[in-house]
Structure 1
């Protein structure tokens, strides 16, 4: 019997006999088909090195796939990879997003980020395909192999569903019956807001890169209008210095732009992914906590059950125990795999970003040094 504070059976899932090999490989083209607010992504599906299907899917199809794999019969205790956030496609939201990044008074519109969307959606599919349980999901198989997208069903959350979510959220502070899961819950409670803050700070750095690049472009444009007629020697000298300065600023702008866009690709996307992924782990842990609370309630009900209700109480207890143990067994393996991948990917992304910034800084230094050398060589 499992009472508050006691430890469960401690049964663990057996280690897989061999590493799981994804059945398919996917590649999403950077070229999308946009019709109004609708954006269609082209997915090339291959197996054993051969292309077996090319399909087009809208973002709503990915959202419905996420719903299907998250609520599937074998999803208990799994940390389901998060579907990426939808980018702004209509003019109004695109303008609001641009002002958020470039400043409230800015009239500069940021170009569509469909390339970024394609990369994130491809990563999402790769995470699903490489998962030993979700990779075998029939809905995922249909999503990739059927020419037409599976029919979507509108998912609605009614009042009772929202009330249920509220009641379940209140159980997140319930003491866990196992030290392993209690430590993991405590870690998530501290790590999730820290990662959110890191992602927000990095987004601010990327926005600063974009604003600086646009400001340098404005300076370059203004300097191009200051050239003087070459009638006098000092005019020629000024034009020569101005040309050197323009080339220098243009090179610096290129380094800043590359540092911003590439930085977002190599590390910003990784931060955003794992920020959402940790949220998925928190949701899984909360679900397991709710199953634990239900199991404990069934134990108490069995202790207090009258003889004529004993059989029903025992059945309810066995069902609650089976769900709780199934979830716990799967969750142990999921958490270990999740933490290994988190460390590897965040470290790789951070190293790539640091190398990118060093390259950008060296390029800027080289441009400034070259400009200074050329200016010193001009006879004044």
Structure 2
């Protein structure tokens, strides 16, 4: 078991963009992911086995870097919700498109999470990232100490600060846009999932009807029965092709635009959390200023010191947050653009293959009519 990790500056020994999850092993409810990272030296690869709890361990260490200036301004790459081998309907609904297929979409989402952490100029300096990607031992299960993010997430009364008026027009505008986009992207992802589930149901229905048509096939030399049986077999093949087509369409939807919308939705939530952390620090600063103004002479110096420290923290958070937001806007456009392009390319390829297949069926029917 790994020893407790200290958050110190550390250069990664792997290529951040080349991290892959090559396999997932199911053992009851537990899922174990095989992660492969290419060494910077170019002399080989690291192969490690990790569970979702290990991913959570990594995320908590990223949250716990209280000595990193402006950390609360970071838009943390969103970690997908926990999955299990025998997930309930509630968990599957929470996972959305990530719960479909044989866990390939979920593996892709975890893979994206690792790549984004490993290429983040602040987060990739955390020693825990290097340990997670390269150590053959499983991460330790020690309880991560409480930090500012734990405290904020647990303080329900802090939620009232979400509507607090911002002093910076840039951040107020970003908060307003994020509020709209968070709802829109979540709705879009949910509607897209509904469409995929409908496509899967249609594929299953086509398969059932294709199989049922074979029950109509009758043996014998009666010309009418033989003709009817041939027709049933031919129609069965058509519906089998429809099943394969609809299955491919659904898979294409999940692996392209489905993953893109899911990531966009989770990232909007991540930005919302960052903006909320900054707003909380803004309220804290305003309170510190008021306390310093009202402080009696005996406490004036101490209150001024608190105000100065809080103002420094707030400025650091704002500096990091501005950079993160600008980068996020560029990246999210590229991510969605890539998802849309892949979606179109996949569906065009599937449509061409299906057209060829249906043309063959059409020729077969014409041959029967002659």
Q: How does 1:142-291 map to 2 (within 5 A)?
A: 142-154=131-143, 161=151, 165-291=155-281
More moved, 227-236 vs 116-125: 227-236
TM-score by length of 1: 0.84
**Closer, same or farther: CA 193–288 of 1 in aligned 2, 3 Å:** same
SS at match of 1:252: helix
Tell me what 2:327 maps to.
337
Contact 1:28–1:118 at 8 Å: present in 2 too? yes
Deviation at 1:230, TM superposition (A): 4.3
Tell me what 1:38 maps to.
30
1:84 corresponds, among 72, 80, 87, to: 80
**Alpha-carbon distance in structure 2 between the residues aligned to 1:152 and 1:247:** 54
Tell me what 2:312 maps to.
322
SS at match of 2:65: coil
**Closer, same or farther: CA 341–185 of 1 in aligned 2, 3 Å:** same
**Alpha-carbon distance in structure 2 between the residues aligned to 1:21 and 1:52:** 10
Deviation at 1:352, TM superposition (A): 1.9
Tell me what 1:107 maps to.
none
Q: How does 1:302-313 map to 2 (within 5 A)?
A: 302-313=292-303
Q: How many residues align?
A: 348
Deviation at 1:54, TM superposition (A): 1.4
TM-score by length of 2: 0.86
SS at match of 1:39: strand
Deviation at 1:21, TM superposition (A): 11
Contact 2:14–2:39 at 8 Å: present in 1 too? no
Tell me what 1:131 maps to.
120
RMSD in angstroms over aligned alpha carbons? 2.7
Q: How does 1:350-365 map to 2 (within 5 A)?
A: 350-365=340-355
**Alpha-carbon distance in structure 2 between the residues aligned to 1:333 and 1:184:** 13
**Alpha-carbon distance in structure 2 between the residues aligned to 1:188 and 1:71:** 25
Deviation at 1:369, TM superposition (A): 4.0
More moved, 197-206 vs 40-49: 40-49
SS at match of 1:170: helix
Deviation at 1:114, TM superposition (A): 2.5
**Alpha-carbon distance in structure 1 between the residues aligned to 2:53 and 2:290:** 44
1:68 corresponds, among 37, 61, 85, to: 61
Deviation at 1:161, TM superposition (A): 4.7
Contact 2:34–2:49 at 8 Å: present in 1 too? yes
**Closer, same or farther: CA 117–79 of 1 in aligned 2, 3 Å:** same
Gaps of 5+ in 2: 1-11
1:314-358 CA deviation, whole Å, 9 max, x = no partner? 100111101100000000000000111101111221222233334
**Alpha-carbon distance in structure 2 between the residues aligned to 1:368 and 1:143:** 50
Contact 2:14–2:38 at 8 Å: present in 1 too? no
**Alpha-carbon distance in structure 2 between the residues aligned to 1:171 and 1:146:** 41
**Alpha-carbon distance in structure 2 between the residues aligned to 1:320 and 1:139:** 28
**Closer, same or farther: CA 95–218 of 1 in aligned 2, 3 Å:** farther
SS at match of 1:85: coil
Tell me what 1:4 maps to.
none
Gaps of 5+ in 1: 1-19, 102-109
**Alpha-carbon distance in structure 2 between the residues aligned to 1:243 and 1:330:** 65
